[in-house]
Amino acid sequence: MLYIVLMVLFVLFLARSYINRGLLLLDPQHWENQYSLSLDLYEKHASVSCFHGDIDSMSVCLDTILSNAKSFDDSLKASSLLVKLLASSSKFDEARTNCITILANLGETFPKGIGLPCALDKLSVIQTTLRDISCDQIKQLPPMSDSNKLNSMKFLNMLSMYSIISKPMLLPLLSCRMVMLMNEYGFCDDAIVGLATAGYSVVRTCKAVLHVALN
């Protein structure tokens, strides 16, 4: 086991050294003249810095990418890494806000004020949708291929994880949307999180209802 860990660390060290060398070889005006290569190298540098726990280098890399990205799509990978960086620093509210902003640009919007009636309504939709769907039917769904929806599912997944800590009342809305996207556009790995979050949402919301009833 120690051998495997040491090999992984060695590979990461080599990867970082090669990426750093690549960055040094870029033109002075590389964001204009070597845009695709610059974007690729900076994304890889941010990812490897994350593995190394080098938060400062990762943060600088992400800021550079987001300042120079020519399109929203080009900024998505850096945005996802930034969300993870914020969450790793226990800045869950900021991570959640970033996810919501990105999702809005992907066409997925959520109300700012979410109360118990809204959560119960979404849970009812989930239960109705999943009532007559078996595991075998879910496995037979075609793979999700729409890149916009795949990105939406990715950020919905992250938002679900951080909302458990910072805004649990949002979970029924997120899981409902993930289940609806799965049914309409096909299956992807993030859909598993949506289904699991749906079950978790039922438990959390029932506890909230019980608390309101007892008080």
pLDDT at position 165 is 80
Q: Is the pLDDT of residue 87 over 80?
A: yes
Same domain, 153 and 72: no
The encoded tokens of residue 90 equal 């226990």
**Residue 214 pLDDT level (bands cut at 50, 70, 90):** low
The total number of structural domains in the chain stands at 2
Residue 64 maps to a domain: yes
198 and 153 co-located in one domain? yes
Question: Are 159 and 79 within one domain?
Answer: no
Last residue of a domain, one of 71, 89, 107: 89
For residue 84, count CB atoms less than 10 angstroms from its CB and return exposed for 0-12, middle for 13-18, buried for 19 or more: middle
Residues 7 and 63 reside in one and the same domain: yes
* CB environment 10-48: b (16+ within 10 A), e (fewer): eeeeebbeebeebeeeeeeebbeeeeeebbebbbbbbbb
Question: Residue 99 falls within a domain, yes or no?
Answer: no
**What band does 126 get if pLDDT is binned at 50, 70 and 90?**
confident
pLDDT given at position 167: 83
Same domain, 58 and 132: no
Same domain, 154 and 80: no
The tens digit of pLDDT for each residue in 152-210 reads 999 999 999 888 887 888 888 899 899 999 999 999 999 999 888 887 776 666 565 55
User: What is the rounded average pLDDT of the residues 118-128?
Assistant: 80
Residue 112 scores a pLDDT above 90? no
Mind listing the pLDDT tens digit for each residue in 6-27? Answer: 566 656 667 777 788 888 899 9
How far, in whole angstroms, is CA 179 from its chain's centroid?
Answer: 16
Contact 81/115 with Cβ under 8 angstroms?
no
| Shared domain check, 129 and 83 | no
123 and 208 in a common domain? yes
Q: Is the pLDDT of residue 213 over 70?
A: no
- Domain check: are 45 and 128 in the same one? no
- Indicate if 31 and 82 belong to the same structural domain: yes
* Position 201 in a domain: yes
Residues 62 and 123 placed together within one structural domain of the fold = no
- Kindly report the average pLDDT of the chain as a whole number: 86
Containing structural domain, residue 45? 2-89
Q: Are residues 125 and 202 in the same domain?
A: yes
* Residue 67 covered by a domain: yes
